[in-house]
Amino acid sequence: MSRSSTSSFDVAAPRGRTRQFSLRRAWQFPTCVVGLLVLAELILRAPWTVSTLPIRTHYHEPGIVRRVEALERVLAERGSIDILFVGISIVRCNIQPLDFDRAVLDRGLREVSFNGGLSGLWPKAVALYVEHLWLPKAHPAIVVQGIRFGELHSSPRARRETAIMSGPIESRWDTQRATRAIEIGALERVHLLQYRGTLPRWLASYESGAPGQDLDDDGRVATDARGWTPRLPTLDVALSRGLLKQEAPYSAPIKDAETEATLRSIARTAELCRRAHVRYVLVNVPEHAFRWSTPGGAERYGEYIDTLRALAASQSFEFIDVTNRDPRRFASDAEYSDYHHMSPAGAHRFTLMLASELGPRLPGTLTAGRR
């Protein structure tokens, strides 16, 4: 009686006969493939590999990946985030979390803050990332959103929704597929899935004669351990060297259909935080006083502040303005790198002023007890 074709024994077939099927041999190939994939995943997770390879591509923009990496390191080290700063790049550059923590430490508070500011995210996009990225990943006790007047109007500097939704993870935020959560979870956890398109871009960089370029974000969005990005040179130096053109003072309306839409986006972020039982604070981030230097500019600035204050009152959240409606409180060229991004010196002063306003409101509200 011949051996069953499903036998796990592998006996060499006589010459001229077809070798019988082997279940053991059939499993060798997929087992090897799985083993190689596991080995590759472990290699890609090694700190040396992560620091050597180009930035991962699972979010649509490298700066986001950098912030998420920094956030994960803080969570691994400290266990939780108390205060999360969110907003556009002015938040990323103008608020120094380590300075903030040191300032409130003087009041006996041991809080952990993190800067989640991202380039080009106008308030509608900020709400998107607060909902899908920052709240579920950071689980902060307080979200502090920074806003400047320029963000109340559309701008070519604002990141387009189509660009945002081109990211592997972002593109799945807006889908109703049953597998959505599984797909996002896999992209967030499996490093093999996080380097999509890296090899073709790397090869293209060699073909263009600039090896390694365009594989990472530029130095302006390099982050420290808490997500802060220093900006230099200072405004006076940049203007004298012709690195920057002088911007015109503001002339846009304080309140129109565009600003109303933006205010609704801010209110949505506040509501998202409220639903997650997270305290929400809106902060005016002052721009260089030159932007309000036209006749009547100070009055228009005060009207802008009053608009934000009225929104906060109508939506029952806190609003902080360290300038006290006076745009001249930040007028030094040495404190800015352009008309809205601050230099390290300006960021230091603004952060301390913010800490002095927010610090007294912190006792009894944060999550120090859960660590």
Mean pLDDT, residues 209-227? 64
In a domain, 7, yes or no: no
Could you count the other beta carbons within 10 Å of the beta carbon of residue 109? 16
CA 122 to CA 297: how far, in whole Å?
23
Tell me the pLDDT band of 207, cut-offs 50, 70 and 90.
low
Q: What percentage of the chain exceeds 70 in pLDDT? A: 84
User: In Å, how far from its chain's centre is CA 131?
Assistant: 12
Q: What average pLDDT does the chain have?
A: 86
Please indicate, yes or no, whether residues 48 and 112 belong to a single structural domain of this protein.
Answer: no
pLDDT of residue 82: 96
Backbone torsions φ then ψ of 216, nearest 5 degrees = -140, 170
Mean pLDDT, residues 135-158? 95
Residue 12 clears pLDDT 80, i.e. is over it: no
Residue 298 · residue 327 · CB < 8 Å: yes
pLDDT of residue 203: 62
Q: Which of 11, 32, 52 is the last residue of a domain?
A: 52
Residue 343 clears pLDDT 50, i.e. is over it: yes
Beta-strand (E) ranges in 250-294? 279-284
Of 256 and 203, the structure prediction assigns the larger pLDDT to 256
Inter-CA distances, 347 with 120, 230, 234, 264, 300, Å: 19, 8, 12, 28, 24
Residue 283 clears pLDDT 90, i.e. is over it: yes
CA 365 to CA 120: how far, in whole Å?
31
pLDDT of residue 131: 97
Say if residue 253 is preceded by a cis peptide, omega within 30 of 0. no
Query: Which residue segment(s) compose the domain that 339 sits in?
Result: 80-156+219-364
pLDDT of residue 341: 97
Residue 8 clears pLDDT 50, i.e. is over it: no
Q: Which of 9-18, 90-99, 180-189 has the lowest mean pLDDT?
A: 9-18
pLDDT of residue 63: 86
In a domain, 328, yes or no: yes
Q: Kindly report the CATH number assigned to the domain that includes residue 304.
A: 3.40.50.1110
In a domain, 43, yes or no: yes
Please tell me the pTM assigned to this model.
0.85
In a domain, 133, yes or no: yes
Mean pLDDT, residues 138-144? 97
Tell me the pLDDT band of 106, cut-offs 50, 70 and 90.
confident
Tell me: the pLDDT tens digits for 25-70? Answer: 667 777 787 777 777 768 777 877 777 777 888 898 888 988 999 9
Please indicate, yes or no, whether residues 226 and 146 belong to a single structural domain of this protein.
Answer: yes
In a domain, 101, yes or no: yes
Please indicate, yes or no, whether residues 132 and 257 belong to a single structural domain of this protein.
Answer: yes
Residue 189 clears pLDDT 90, i.e. is over it: no
Please indicate, yes or no, whether residues 239 and 133 belong to a single structural domain of this protein.
Answer: yes
Q: Which of 134-138, 193-197, 280-284, 304-308 has the lowest mean pLDDT?
A: 193-197
Residue 208 clears pLDDT 80, i.e. is over it: no
Domain count, the chain: 2
Residue with tokens 């409180």: 329
Tell me the pLDDT band of 15, cut-offs 50, 70 and 90.
low
pLDDT of residue 93: 96
Residue 291 · residue 250 · CB < 8 Å: yes
pLDDT of residue 371: 45
Tell me the pLDDT band of 342, cut-offs 50, 70 and 90.
very high
HSE, side-chain direction, 13 A CA sphere, residue 55: 22
Mean pLDDT, residues 203-227? 63
Q: Which of 52, 67, 91 is the last residue of a domain?
A: 52
Please indicate, yes or no, whether residues 141 and 45 belong to a single structural domain of this protein.
Answer: no
Tell me the pLDDT band of 7, cut-offs 50, 70 and 90.
very low
User: Which residue type does 338 have?
Assistant: D
Mean pLDDT, residues 8-32? 62
In a domain, 230, yes or no: yes
Inter-CA distances, 334 with 95, 232, 238, 239, Å: 16, 10, 10, 11
In a domain, 257, yes or no: yes
Please indicate, yes or no, whether residues 237 and 355 belong to a single structural domain of this protein.
Answer: yes
Q: Which of 37, 52, 67 is the last residue of a domain?
A: 52
Mean pLDDT, residues 308-319? 98
In a domain, 256, yes or no: yes
pLDDT of residue 363: 65
User: Which residue type does 71 have?
Assistant: L
